[in-house]
Structure 1
């Protein structure tokens, strides 16, 4: 330490001597010297005497940091007042000298003092930072150099000469490179390839040592971050993703999520997912992949029936340069749900179907399918309603609609058939297809009338062309097969006239009536006359227009209703005796009917004996009315003489009898005026004049015998008698024998003629329809009482004892019973005529009111024979007639 101080002093002395000699003083002081250190004897060095420094006021001019040096006033020494730091004063400049100005007064003089501060190794090397971060790409090649900032040392010279060392590393080495003569630049050199995924950060220590003694060091930590290189492609955790999703999944459903990783960093590890290679291509519209998350979503509805499997690839691409990518496959299987109902298609339809089609006829061909699969696509089919059609499977999905039951168009003209299908899903879905199967008509139904027998009532004297009835036949067929035309069938016509078979009762109905071919109206061709025709029976045939045509028949019984269009007609008397009504009387009536009745007023003759008791019949007024029923029911009234005459007339019998015993006061002759009146509306009448001669009893007996003979005369004699030829008693007796012979011949001839006509009628052809018993028709033919009749008009007269009773005629037409009722008519039946009786059967019942009580003295034998005769005539005409009088 002492040596150092001596050396320092010598230096200062030398400098001061040099300075004095050169005009300035130089001093040298090491930095970091302590305060108070005497830098030099400034006053002495300036050549001042001792004590002169103070006297002449030796001082330093203050100049910034120079305040750290001061001049001692007493000794005039330059003293260090504070520590000096060369690096602070001069930095890296060398040498470091402080220029001081020293001022001396008396005289004023300025001296320049230069103080050199010498360096000592008081500063260690310093790096710009304690730590240095370096980023080196892992893709850097071997030998790559990475310059570093070197350390700095505030010292100079040898104290500032630095050397560097690097902490051991297998990847890096240190190399020093001179940038210029003064500076050294340390560099690290890559000696081994970097792998960021293995060692992402390398930490090294760089040490700088100066050349001082002792040497000082400084360190800097090197943090070497290996920059990622895009050397790793993204990797999926699965190479194949298999996903199942229901086809009913809603849009937006998360199907799956793929996952890929990239060990790189930054953008090199940022993965974007992209869906590619869709099979089928339509998958692009159905499936989407989130590019950030890899989530697979549905963007449209799935349809298993269109696409059942979607195959596509997903690419995971990073954001490196160049980008790397990885791939995976996704197999998306669509699971079927029962979302499709079966479909029914009609591939062929053969309609209309004839109603006579055979069983097994194929009506339609159908195709049934279901787009679903498995049980969802298994379909079963059936027909509703089950009859008359059925299904037959031909092959998979194909069916035939066949006929299983016979058809009847008239019962069902059209079928609405529904083919139903149901699949095997849960729940099952159903579908149906409606078929309209019309049935075509064949001519399998004949026209049918509502009644087998129609009873028609028509009043006589109707106008020609009047509508009598309207018939209607139902044919359930259609078009021409159901178009009906009507006609009168001549083979089934029968006319029953008043004259019966003898009068030519079998006449064609077409001479009386006609039928309109389209409407079925029955028209009268001529006025009807009850006295000529009572019953007209004919058949109407209805024929359709089918091929072949079919027909139906109905029988029409036309009954002519009587009108009061005939006045009573007088007949010649049959005699006054009570026995005059026997066979001879009947023969006389037949002759009178054949010859014609006496009409109008005429004079009849009778004889009565003097003294005849009361109640003795002296004559009988006989009259006939061509009408029937009430119109032919006659009553007899005595108009003259009125009052208490000797004679009276039976109200209904027409018998003229004595009202009291006859005496001479009554005169030789009595003239009686008798009115015969029917019961028609209005009533018609005839007047008879009876001249009664009062004679002795013998003459009266002879006159009675003549009258009995006259009752058996032929029609010619009766006509003559009706003409009013008045015979005297003598002439009558003379002609009795002649008339008796004529009457017997006439009766024989009539009997023979009746036998011939009866045989002819038995062999005459009958209508085919008169073949069996049928419904009974009851017709009241007469009133009980005294009915006069004529054989020509077949009047019925039935008289019984006691009180009046009604006679009934029972008609049983020999027609077959009507067919059973068929199906309801397809059209409304035309409204029948007012004269058409539409009762349930071909019958009618017509009653006449019961007549008043018979007058006294009625003889039954005169009234029973005519009724039986009329019944015989009706039976002869072909009608089954029964006549009876109810009790």
Structure 2
């Protein structure tokens, strides 16, 4: 049998709980005999000991608390299971685990900050447990009640107004916890808030300013004043150090000492009324906090005059450095003069240094303005030392002076200047590309960026070629380089401009003319143009054995396309079969006989002539002339082709033929003459040279004309005729506006078949040569 009943905890002892039966039977309780018993006669279940629900049911999570017991009935035997629910009553008051709660809160903590508090506990449950908290009245704090997941209540302390340790360093609060029983029970705890100091108070002096009278010549170490500053903070935040501010002059700091610990100001050196009457100082009191705060006070020390009479000068303001283009009448300094004496001893006169572009202008009593009286030029004088002298009117007078140094700042007022306005730079031909030609350095007397120069070539085109493709200049130092190899025979000179520009604002620049002259180098070998060689370098000539002494045998002519000096040609025999037979003019290349041929002389003579130029080292060309002597019968043929034009071509020849060949029949003479005429009209094919082989050109852009040679050699300046087997070689005067010389080869048939007047024939030949060369000119 199961029986359920309930009663509130802490019922009085002996209280009847349940009547199990009225019959007379034997009852006995089996379990929980400590708290319950049963009257066997009446069957009443009663309490033996006071019951405490909080003791019997420790867990606060359980909403009910039961005591279970079993009662046995003997006759008949029956067992009753009895559950007794113990109902909670508000028999426990809330209490805190600690009676006092200590909190340290910095005074710099912002309002709204939250602090956790220890919550109160109440063993009762339900409505008898803690219901709310109350905080004692405070303008700085409040609480906010929170509910946990298990339904428990706890409070957070809220800072609702910022703290100030200097106003209240400690806050005592009472926190009360109330349960929900009837009547309600409560428990309290003390909250002690200690406000932590922050360095939020600057030191303060007793007074903001002090005025102290001090007699001059006061003894060194004499106490002038003891300053006192206080700080409302505590600890290191309230410890104070005294010091001079930056607004305290060096003079004041030298004259008075300041004790950094106690604020005492004492005389440090002798005080002179005439030197200084008023000492203004600013004293700073600084606390020793990490983020220190400071307070200030001003101290004015008035020196009482005893006796002195030195004038005094003081620079109140100074503008230095100043720009060199500063306008005239601009004020660059303000000076004051004074004399601490009285009467005439205190009246002063002021001057500055002589012969300087500055002047003093009085602006007010004892104040003068130093102005610019003349234009300034830094390049002439970069700095001025201006000595200002003040003299009193005492007897004897005393004076004082002050020197002002005025430094001039550079402005970009100078154009870069080259040492020369025109540079002529000789450059040897065949120069290596990239060779340094010259260093064209300009000078700019300005400073810094106004002096930094950049060089560049002013662009110019020559025959569609840009100057920048021929030359390069280093923009930093003006070094001029050639970008290509030059050939004197092609390019003889260049003319262009180089500009130097500074880096000022605005920039200034100047340019210089550069004349590049290509110098000739002996890089061209002489070319032998006469006697003409159709193939190879051997020339075969035939001469009569009856040739007279001094007869012109051949003329060697060589030309060289180098300049005048390097093209000077000299001729020498490199090989001569008989040195006694032929001579060679080293200047004109004429080979003449030195004597007549004898029967001992070989019929074949070999002459090797070398034509050498005047260069260093010299270059040369050679020609080999093979001479074959023929009998007198051939003399007529030879003389018809090689007699100089100055004489009648056939007059002397007929004379020799008549004397030498008197016995020859008229028929043979006619046959020989006919043969000679045919030879003159139609040269042998094997001996004729191609027209193109008969032309040489030695200057660029010249027109190649058949049988015409253009040469620069001034050696052939004079007009002359050279006799050769192939014809006449004419060297003419220079062409107009140039230094070229025309050498033309006149065919053998031109004018040589005529037997009339030799002078007319010569003129006709020259005229034909001029007509041939007129196309080139």
Please report the TM-score for the alignment, with normalisation by the length of structure 2.
Answer: 0.45
Bigger RCO of structures 1 and 2 (CA < 8 A, at least 6 apart): 1
More helix by share: 1
Q: What is the TM-score normalised by the length of structure 1? A: 0.40
The higher radius of gyration belongs to 1
